[in-house]
Structure 1
Amino acid sequence: MVTGKRKLLVALVGGMVLALTGCESSIEGATNVSATPAMAAVPAGYNACTDVPQSVLDAEGLKMPIPDDTDLSSGAKWRGCIWAQPDGYAVSIQTTNLTLDMVRDKNFPDATESTISGRETLSTRRPGDEPEESCYVNVEMTGGSLQFGLTNPSSAPDTGHLDTCELGRALAEKVVPSIPADM
């Protein structure tokens, strides 16, 4: 069964890369960030690829980190990695210069505001073929946010029956305490 799990993991990570990177125009449309010199740099001081606690990754069964950095002509930028559960969801965890206000301004469906470890948080679904299979959770940081982008296909044996935004918020609750307080 290892071969089947490996195939599902590769498919999840591949799907996540395509869903999150796509072509630049579709990302710019999704973020609706216009080109402007006012775009801040990506918050520095937290590297999702190395600063997400290994204990969290192990507890979630997240494997195979793949670097995932994106720069758009609009000035929007993401820095981080993608992980996947062999029989569950895939997630990109990235610092981005997109602020919660920028995400709010898009009026994405199912926007839910909350607080995690004293930080404002906004979870949203993005329009697409299967919007219930994806969710983005942005956690406030100075100059931007930490973004969790989950893809949770209904065919995933371990998590496909669970709400993707609930999974994203639960993961954020485990990761956010590792963000330095001054960020």
Structure 2
Amino acid sequence: MLVSGCNSSGEAKGNTSSASATPTIAADVPAGFDACKDIPQSVIQQEQLIKPTPDITDRPGGYKWRGCDWVQRGGDGYAVTIDTTNITLAMVRTNSQFTVTEESNVAGRAALIYRPSDDKTDQHENCILIVDMRGGSLEVSVTNPPSAKLTASQHSCDIAKRLGERIVPAIPATL
């Protein structure tokens, strides 16, 4: 199953369960979309995202994340990690340590919102959205604390979906 860990901003990056069969993991994250460089400039400007910090995370079992951590202008809003990962939607669905809270489509691609099953934090504050890509997914992980002056009134999953809707059209259709 998935391996546990956290990226540099502390979001959960999967958990392990021992004996269950799981879909085969790709050797690397999907190639052809760089979650740091290929996010449209219009999204960066509209969302006032600054200070991209590379997020390069490898976990035992070959699980990988490649992308960037971003914060909103002045640190008065949400923080987000936008990664490509070799974890698929099927892997999340079949992992008993995750709870899928919503399945939908984002810009025409299958997507889901999930959380670690043992996570007791308010999903209003933290949300993980993954969007299907060939060989993995795009992961948008939002942290929107109550202290965020610009965005505290917004649900973190609404922010994640909005970002997904704006970013996914930049992903080549072949991915």
User: Which residue in 1 is equivalent to 2:66?
Assistant: 79
Match of 1:92 among 72, 76, 81: 81
| Cα distance change of structure 1 residues 182 and 172 upon mapping to structure 2, 3 Å threshold | same
Say whether the 8 Å CA contact 2:9–2:69 is kept in structure 1: no
* TM-score w.r.t. length of structure 1: 0.80
What is the match of residue 47 of structure 2? 60
User: Is the Cα–Cα contact under 8 Å of residues 34 and 84 in structure 2 kept in the other structure?
Assistant: yes
Kindly report the root-mean-square deviation, in angstroms, between the aligned alpha carbons of the 2 structures: 2.3
Structure with the largest fraction of helix = 1
- What code does the residue aligned with 1:46 have? F
**Offset at residue 47 of structure 1 (A):** 0.3
- Paired residue for 1:149, among 107, 124, 141? 141
Cα deviations by residue, 1:64-94 (Å, 9 ceiling, x for unpaired): 0000010101211000001011211101110
Contact 1:28/1:74, CA 8 A, preserved across alignment: no
Partner of 1:161: 153
Distance 2:152 2:128 in 1: 16
Unaligned runs of 5+ in 2: 1-6
Partner residue, 2:25? 39
- Quick one: which amino acid aligns to residue 128 of structure 1? D
How do residues 2-17 of structure 1 correspond to structure 2 at under 5 angstroms?
A: 17=8
Amino acid at match of 1:123: I
2:169 matched to 1:177?
yes
**Residue 19 (1) aligns with residue 10 (2):** yes
Contact 2:146 2:152 in 1 (8 A): yes
Structure-2 residue corresponding to 1:118: 108
For residues 139 and 17 of structure 2, the distance between their equivalents in structure 1, rounded to whole angstroms, comes to 16
Alignment TM-score, normalising by the size of structure 2: 0.83
- The aligned amino acid for 2:33 is Y
User: How far has the Cα of 1:28 moved from its partner?
Assistant: 4.6
How many angstroms apart in 1 are the aligned matches of 2:159 and 2:9? 20
Instruction: Single out whichever of 81-90 and 102-111 deviates more from structure 2.
Output: 102-111
Match of 1:50 in 2: 37
Residue in structure 1 matching 2:95, options 101, 106, 109: 106
Deviation at 1:101, TM superposition (A): 0.6
Deviation at 1:152, TM superposition (A): 0.6
Query: Percent identity among equivalent residues?
Result: 45
Stretches of structure 1 lacking an aligned partner (at least 5 in a row): 1-15, 22-26
1:57 CA drift (Å):
0.8
Greater CA drift, 128-137 or 114-123: 128-137
**Structure (1 or 2) with the greater strand fraction:** 2
| Counterpart secondary structure, 2:147 | coil
